[in-house]
Amino acid sequence: MSPAISGTQWDIAAIKLTYPLLDVVQREGVVLKRSGTQRWQGLCPFHEDRNPSFFVDVERQRFVCFGCKARGDVIDFVRLHERLNSVANACAWLARTLAPPTTRGSSRPGAPPPPAQRRWDRLTLEQQLVLNAAGALYRDALWRNTRARAYLTVERGLPEWVVRACGLGYADGRSLEAHLRKHGGLRVAEELGLLRRPEPGEGGRMLRERFAGRIVIPELRGGQPIWFLGRHPSRVSARVKYLGLPGEKPVLGFERAAGRREVYLVEGAFDWLTAVSWHLPAFSTCGTDFPSDRLGWLAKARVIFGVLDADRAGRAASQRFEAALGHRWLPISLPEGDDLNDLGRRPGGRAQFFRLVADARRTVSADSRRDATCTGK
């Protein structure tokens, strides 16, 4: 798409200079890693991407996904990601939502960090109260929405107790604003990215819920949601299947795994929910991309079972984790093309998984016996 348009007040060239693509993509919560001098790579936010196929070219200021073929400049990115219907709306969104990098993050002491650097384990009391309110509304809405509930229990095969224990919810797209208007916290909800103002031409004056129409999976710490991940309960249509709150994504299921001697690292949020249903001390990295400088909390784990998808991205991630975690890392080979949630939905899938775990253990003990023999002990 060409950014050249007529009849609006936006200076497209100036907008593009003010909002560098890489900065905007990262602030929108897409995790990227450098993959060349001018290139960054990550999981595509526009399709269910398991093999990082989304690239940002810093020199050309363009992105491309080799999976879903999405491509364009910073304005195209905003249009697609925020589902806006025009270039003018995308410019307006940028100008209103994201302050340019230079004026942002002023040296004012105690100023909140910009969204891209937001760490969800650091929240003010006010922010936590708003997240708590949102979590409670999402949970209530789930019990009123039979389609969303059927998606969890029938399509994803999750038992009701997991839905409750993990605080799963559904965003109906209207309750949050109504609640916060009455009880306060609208501004904080906007800051956190839970709500946004309607674009010109979008119609209506209601604030838009980030997760409207999505199943919501919270990361709970001490029983309080500190972050949300949204998933559309449909296989098709939605451009962005998984959507998190912007900022550094936390470990999903941290409290179930922290301090345990054996833990299970799983790839996706629904894999994690399946693992919870099997009472496993599991956590999810919500994708295969996870910075190694955030693995220190696993130091007490003697075994970290790696339950990654049996595809190219999963295998590459397994190698990275092995390099970072050494002898602690014990990958489980899932059947080709399956993830843990696939196994969980299949009769006998659970038994099959525990056989794979036993196989992995046997391989390791056989290896260590052989090593002991070789060194003559």
The reply on whether position 305 binds Zn ion by CB under 5 A is no
Alpha carbons 26 and 293: distance in angstroms, whole number: 18
Q: Which is nearer to Zn ion, 67 or 335 (CB)?
A: 67
The reply on whether position 72 binds Zn ion by CB under 5 A is no
Dig out the tokens for 249 from the structure: 């994504």
Mutual angle of helices 87-97 and 74-81, in 10-degree steps = 90
The reply on whether position 256 binds Zn ion by CB under 5 A is no
User: Sign (positive/negative) of CA torsion 94, 98, 102, 103?
Assistant: positive
The reply on whether position 68 binds Zn ion by CB under 5 A is yes
Binding-site size for Zn ion (CB under 5 A) equals 6
Q: How far is the CB of 68 from Zn ion (least distance, A)?
A: 3
Dig out the tokens for 295 from the structure: 């693995």
Strands 71-72 and 54-57: unpaired
Q: Which is nearer to Zn ion, 53 or 145 (CB)?
A: 53
Given candidates 12, 30, 65, 325, which one binds Zn ion under the rule CB under 5 A? 65
Given candidates 25, 30, 44, 334, which one binds Zn ion under the rule CB under 5 A? 44
The reply on whether position 46 binds Zn ion by CB under 5 A is yes
Stretch binding Zn ion (CB under 5 A), from 60-68, 174-182, 280-288, 326-334 = 60-68
Q: Which is nearer to Zn ion, 65 or 275 (CB)?
A: 65
Show the site string, 122-161: x = touches Zn ion by CB under 5 A, - = not: ----------------------------------------
Stretch binding Zn ion (CB under 5 A), from 38-46, 71-79, 133-141, 298-306 = 38-46
Q: Which is nearer to Zn ion, 44 or 134 (CB)?
A: 44
The answer to whether 21 touches 58, Cβ cutoff 8 Å, is: yes
Q: Which is nearer to Zn ion, 47 or 214 (CB)?
A: 47
Alpha carbons 154 and 236: distance in angstroms, whole number: 17
Q: What are phi and psi of 200, to 5 degrees?
A: -60, 135
Residues 6+ apart with CB under 8 A from 236: none
Q: How far is the CB of 193 from Zn ion (least distance, A)?
A: 21
Catalog residues that contact Zn ion under the rule CB under 5 A. Answer: 44, 46-47, 65, 67-68
